[in-house]
Structure 1
Amino acid sequence: MIRNLDLALIRTFVAVADHQSMTTAANLLFMTQGAVSQQVKRLEEHLGCVLLARKPRQLELTPQGELFLGKARRLLQLNDEIWADTVGSPKRGRVRIGAPPDLITSLAPALKAFTESHPLVELSLKCAPSPELHDDIKEGHLDVALIEYLASNPQGEILRTEPLVWVGSAGSEIWKARPLPLSLVDERCVFRPLVLGALANEGIMWRTIFENGSFEATASTVRVGLAITAWLASTVPEDLITLEKSGLPELPEFAVCLRMSSSAQPVVEDFRRCLLDVLKIACADTDDSEPAQAAACTICLK
């Protein structure tokens, strides 16, 4: 006997699973929390299995729920595509984006361009170290992310490769001090173990004077000459310098990669194309007007 699934129930379940909260899902769907709970219960009854494990103060997907979630997203994706093709209405959906602190600025033009062309798509942005973003993409918590990997072991679509460089203030020689004062974004930063390992290999003592999740806060300590740091060449602010002849150890190259979740909606592909288009324009502008910086901005779109 053929049985039909209720897409309204499925949409409610996906919203609960994505946010791990019935309250948040209720707000997004303009429903009461009780109605959301009842719809999830009805779906579980239709399928004959438990999809969500209800624990104090949190919800978790059961093994059956995890299996069903991927298929549920595909059902909703196909449904939304059919409506968009038939009715011709603007695309809707949600794109969850991630980027490390030093790459947030490069995302801004793409976010603006995408919002203008997709006004009904909800964007959310997470700023976190690359290792955390890697896990988020793998686990489906993000749809798309810019992630920094060692150039020798990139993953995803390579946008550019460039060296990690020492950065300091033009008016300071604090890089000569020992122990070497460092300002780092935070302990989860993908650069940190490589920076500290390079110093250890050269026998250079170091100390951290500042650790924070903010790129700008780290830059502020470098500007006033309290410490030096290490960043990708293209992300160095114009008022700071690279310490090329400081005698500090050479640092490795990194690849900036674009990663997408395997369960991403079609609108995520639209964001990817928008991002690549913006990067092409930015690279062309740099090549025309700033030849010195163009060498550092080695965009190699695939």
Structure 2
Amino acid sequence: MSTLARPLDLDAIQAFVLVADLGSFTRAAEVMDTSQAAMSLKLKRLEARLGYRLLERTPRAVRLSPRGDAFIGAARQLLLAHERALAGTAEAPERRLKLGISDHVAGPNLPALLGRLAAYDPLLVIEVRIAASRDVLAWFERGEVDAAIGRREGDRSDGQLLAEERLGWFAAPGWQHREGQPLKLATLAAPCGIRAIATDALDAAGIAWTEVFVGGGVMAVGAAVSAGLAVAALAQRVAPAGAVEVGEQLGLPPLPVSKVVLHTRLSDPRSQETLRAVSSAFLNAAY
């Protein structure tokens, strides 16, 4: 029997797709609950099986080779066929994951996150709801969402830590603060946790401030920053493109690290694997 006549290893195919989507052997290994060394071995065996390199590895990144880019579509179709076969029908019903995400966490990379999840599990339909962290957590506690990604609020210590993000003061390039005038702020409406952190820090430092823009979402706040209307307290990842950190320049107080956590009660192995993909996709999209 020729080499290519033997069936491909589905675990190796899944490993390849995950590494390609997440851009990391380490994160892909976490999703598959295995070691980085085991992932590397799977990929080497698959590449040897096919007779060409699928991934280009550098110290800083993992990306598809030209042959890998040509192969990944077929790899996804093979995984989809496998999922449907396990479900017992070619028209297997879609599964749903209701996911709540904090507005201060979602950021511009949310489409990339969702795209990676859809590519990983093609029979999964993700329903996303976005609001303030406290609202997202309330949905989770009431059972309205299956999982929630948000900032850790107050003294809580529960939830799986996904990332720690430093908050900063962002403004449009060239934005100038008029000496002797209150600092102009763009914020979300109270009781936003980030707003409270920022205004408490300014009050403690004795810096006068005034809200000149109160938005209904982080994108609106970012638009106000880009328009040069005000300064906003944001994580780097959700700051608008082109905005600059002006805290040191303006003598503003440092802001604390924001901890991003995942909450879920799902316990079946397939859902746990999907949620590990949620975590890894979030980290990959964020950084």
TM-score normalised by structure 2 residue count = 0.61
| Structure 2 partner of 1:258 | 262
Three-state SS of the structure 1 residue aligned to 2:262 is strand
1:107–1:221 distance in 2 versus 1, CA, 3 Å: closer
Deviations 1:138-188 (A, max 9, x none): 111111121112697543111111221111111111375622111012213
Does the CA contact (< 8 Å) of 1:140 and 1:263 recur in 2? no
Three-state SS of the structure 2 residue aligned to 1:191 is helix
| Structure 2 partner of 1:102 | 104
Following the alignment from structure 2 to structure 1, what is the Cα–Cα distance between the partners of residues 170 and 121?
A: 38
| Offset of residue 103 of structure 1 | 2.6
Does the CA contact (< 8 Å) of 1:183 and 1:218 recur in 2? yes
| Structure 2 partner of 1:87 | 88
| Structure 1 partner of 2:125 | 122
| Structure 2 partner of 1:189 | 192
Does the CA contact (< 8 Å) of 1:175 and 1:227 recur in 2? no
| Offset of residue 236 of structure 1 | 2.3
| Structure 1 partner of 2:252 | 248
| Offset of residue 237 of structure 1 | 2.9
Following the alignment from structure 1 to structure 2, what is the Cα–Cα distance between the partners of residues 271 and 113?
A: 11
Aligned with residue 174 of structure 1, among 174, 177, 180: 177
| Structure 2 partner of 1:238 | 241
Q: Note the 1:113-152 alignment, pairs <5 A.
A: 113-149=116-152
Which blocks of at least 5 consecutive residues in structure 2 are unaligned?
1-83
Deviations 1:30-86 (A, max 9, x none): xxxxxxxxxxxxxxxxxxxxxxxxxxxxxxxxxxxxxxxxxxxxxxxxxxxxx9857
Identity of aligned residues (%): 23
Does the CA contact (< 8 Å) of 1:174 and 1:225 recur in 2? no
1:270–1:213 distance in 2 versus 1, CA, 3 Å: farther
Following the alignment from structure 1 to structure 2, what is the Cα–Cα distance between the partners of residues 202 and 113?
A: 43
Following the alignment from structure 1 to structure 2, what is the Cα–Cα distance between the partners of residues 128 and 282?
A: 19
1:120–1:162 distance in 2 versus 1, CA, 3 Å: closer
Which blocks of at least 5 consecutive residues in structure 1 are unaligned?
1-82, 284-296, 298-302
| Offset of residue 277 of structure 1 | 3.4
Does the CA contact (< 8 Å) of 1:143 and 1:264 recur in 2? no
Following the alignment from structure 1 to structure 2, what is the Cα–Cα distance between the partners of residues 177 and 169?
A: 20
> What number of residue pairs does the alignment pair up?
201
| Structure 2 partner of 1:276 | 279
1:277–1:238 distance in 2 versus 1, CA, 3 Å: same
CA RMSD between the two structures: 2.8
Following the alignment from structure 1 to structure 2, what is the Cα–Cα distance between the partners of residues 280 and 222?
A: 25
Following the alignment from structure 2 to structure 1, what is the Cα–Cα distance between the partners of residues 191 and 225?
A: 20
Counterpart of 1:258, as a letter, is: L
Deviations 1:63-121 (A, max 9, x none): xxxxxxxxxxxxxxxxxxxx985737657322111112233233322311222343443
Does the CA contact (< 8 Å) of 1:168 and 1:227 recur in 2? yes
Deviations 1:249-271 (A, max 9, x none): 111111011111x2576654343
1:176–1:229 distance in 2 versus 1, CA, 3 Å: farther
Following the alignment from structure 1 to structure 2, what is the Cα–Cα distance between the partners of residues 150 and 233?
A: 19
1:238–1:185 distance in 2 versus 1, CA, 3 Å: same
Does the CA contact (< 8 Å) of 2:226 and 2:243 recur in 1? yes
1:162–1:219 distance in 2 versus 1, CA, 3 Å: same
Following the alignment from structure 1 to structure 2, what is the Cα–Cα distance between the partners of residues 251 and 150?
A: 15
Does the CA contact (< 8 Å) of 2:147 and 2:263 recur in 1? yes
Counterpart of 2:104, as a letter, is: D
Does the CA contact (< 8 Å) of 1:166 and 1:243 recur in 2? yes
Three-state SS of the structure 2 residue aligned to 1:123 is strand
Three-state SS of the structure 1 residue aligned to 2:164 is strand
Three-state SS of the structure 2 residue aligned to 1:167 is strand
| Structure 1 partner of 2:232 | 229
| Offset of residue 276 of structure 1 | 3.0
